[in-house]
Amino acid sequence: MNWYPIELHTHTQHSDGDFTVSELVKAAKQRGFAAIACTDHNTCSGLRELHEAARREQLVGISGIEWTTYWGHMLVLNEQGYTDWRGVRPEDMDGAIAAIHANHGMVGIAHPFALSNPVNTGYHWEFRVSDWDAVDFLEVWSRDYAPSKIQSLRAMELWEQLLNRRCRMTATSGRDWHREDDKPYGHTFVGVEGKLTTESVLHAVHCGRVCLAAGPLLTMQGNAGGKCIQVGDTVCSGEMEIDLQLDSSVLENDWDRTQVLPEEICLVHNRNVILRCPLHEYQQIQVSLPAGWLRADLIGTYYGRTKQCLAFTNPIYIS
């Protein structure tokens, strides 16, 4: 399986971004992304241009829109049809998500804990969701300096609480890209076997074959009874071999090696750190775990702040 950096949250001049669609796609190519979604606020008017530009730059283009409402922002990707966001009240969200899924679309909650009124309207997620399993992904990291932001810690807490309630939801990082700047950002990496297409990228997001990194990429793979287990897969509780791989060569020009300093790798089971491992490019660990979920975190210093989460995997689920 290969790991590819992608970006699922961007804006252009079709809403409040500075980029033309073509400039956005060129910038994505230049930074080394393999796939990019265009998610302008409440409009899909840039999408035809997105796919033309993506073809030119040999990038995977993903249709999207950011539902921008008084009660929260939601990314809708690859919907074959249109669900009207207008008039969707906080209590209507389960039905809206079902309608989008019926159109083969995917949904992700954008920046759930960003500051709302009076700073911005509707940034904070206030929609009532009773079926969290229906939400395909959650932006645990959002925008610049994501690993050390209080919003990220709160989003991580929400995500972990949902995982502990046996929900399955993929964590992503959203650049919420409006314009070029030199600030540091987190990245979403998808694990894809075979050809990279809109479908294979979104399938990886849906299945949880996703790792987040603000510097080196940490990936995890399991092995139980001769069967290979990827993040997002479910395995029976018991003995498992865990392979951890650390790759410092990803997106080489997109993070500052003097400011992102890894120190250790932690294995997290149901919110508890169960093992601290040294930094090696590759290591194998034996674990025997009860039901729940298992994740690997890369911990270190991020722009002067110690003990920050520099990278993390989505979980392997244990039944």
Which residues form the interface with Zn ion (CB under 5 A)?
A: 66, 73, 110, 176
CB atoms near residue 270 (< 10 Å):
17
- Contact (Cβ atoms closer than 8 angstroms) between residue 211 and residue 189: yes
- Contact (Cβ atoms closer than 8 angstroms) between residue 63 and residue 38: yes
CA distance 40 to 38: 6
Query: Residue 41 or residue 203: which is nearer to Zn ion going by CB?
Result: 41
Residue 193: CB minimum distance to Zn ion, A: 30
Residue partners of 286: CB distance under 8 A and separation at least 6: 239, 240, 241, 242
Query: Residue 176 or residue 297: which is nearer to Zn ion going by CB?
Result: 176
Query: Residue 176 or residue 233: which is nearer to Zn ion going by CB?
Result: 176
Residue 181: CB minimum distance to Zn ion, A: 15
- Please give the full DSSP string across 260-290, using - where no structure is assigned: EEEEEEEEEETTEEEEEE---SEEEEEEEE-
Query: Residue 73 or residue 149: which is nearer to Zn ion going by CB?
Result: 73
| The total number of residues written for the chain in this structure | 319
Residue 66: CB minimum distance to Zn ion, A: 5
| SS3 of residue 28 by DSSP | helix
Query: Residue 14 or residue 73: which is nearer to Zn ion going by CB?
Result: 73
CB atoms near residue 245 (< 10 Å):
16
CA distance 162 to 193: 28
Find the radius of gyration of the CA atoms of the chain.
Answer: 19
| Residue nearest Zn ion, Cβ-based | 73
| CB contact burial 38-55 (16+ within 10 A = b; e otherwise) | bbbeeebebbebbbebbe
Query: Residue 149 or residue 269: which is nearer to Zn ion going by CB?
Result: 149
Residue 176: CB minimum distance to Zn ion, A: 4
Tokens of 82: 């249109």
CA-based nearest residue to 127, from 105, 109, 104: 109
Residue 86: CB minimum distance to Zn ion, A: 17
Residue 28 corresponds to which amino acid? A
Query: Residue 107 or residue 299: which is nearer to Zn ion going by CB?
Result: 107
Residue 143: CB minimum distance to Zn ion, A: 9
Query: Residue 49 or residue 66: which is nearer to Zn ion going by CB?
Result: 66
> Among all chains, which residue has been given the structure tokens 């076997």?
193
Residue 9: CB minimum distance to Zn ion, A: 6
Query: Residue 110 or residue 214: which is nearer to Zn ion going by CB?
Result: 110
Residue 265: CB minimum distance to Zn ion, A: 32
> Among all chains, which residue has been given the structure tokens 């954008």?
110
Residue 11: CB minimum distance to Zn ion, A: 6
